[in-house]
């Protein structure tokens, strides 16, 4: 599904939907499970270029290889990378620094990297 609306109204809709429970039978017992609302969001992560490996180590577990992956719903990340005119991410250096962030039950899929553009006066232009 795709939602569209004023942010506070969309947030309220998501909260109301997330408050719904439905019955299911498991092991001969009737239990109630919460409706799961899972957003798919596209993020631009901006950081100083020398910190690339640290950012990559922070976002992706050491178990997750940084390579061409299959995105849910069979959408190829390579196609999205091409559409965004980004390049493939470099190989992950697992020995680098990693910051502690909470990401329980959050999946992150690498798309690519795109550097800033600078004009002749070394001013950063909008991408």
Give the per-residue pLDDT at 70: 47
Tell me the C-alpha to C-alpha distance, in Å, between residue 115 and each of 76, 85, 109, 121: 22, 10, 19, 17
| pTM score | 0.69
Predicted confidence (pLDDT) per residue in 92-109, tens digit: 888 888 898 888 878 788
Predicted confidence (pLDDT) per residue in 16-71, tens digit: 999 999 999 999 999 999 999 988 888 889 999 899 999 999 988 655 544 444 45
Helix, strand, coil shares, percent, the chain, to 5: 25, 15, 60
């Amino acid at each position: 599904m795709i939602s569209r609306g004023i942010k506070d109204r969309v947030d309220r809709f998501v909260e109301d939907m997330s408050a719904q429970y439905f019955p299911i039978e498991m092991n001969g017992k009737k239990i109630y499970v919460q409706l799961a609302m899972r957003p798919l969001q596209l993020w631009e992560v901006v950081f100083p270029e020398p910190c690339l490996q640290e950012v990559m180590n922070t976002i992706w577990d050491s178990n997750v290889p940084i390579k061409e992956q299959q995105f849910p719903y069979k959408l190829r990340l390579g196609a999205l990378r091409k559409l965004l005119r980004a390049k493939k991410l470099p190989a992950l250096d697992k020995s680098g620094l990693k910051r502690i962030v909470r990401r329980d039950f959050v999946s992150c899929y690498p798309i690519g990297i795109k550097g800033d553009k600078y004009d002749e006066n070394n001013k950063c232009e909008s991408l």
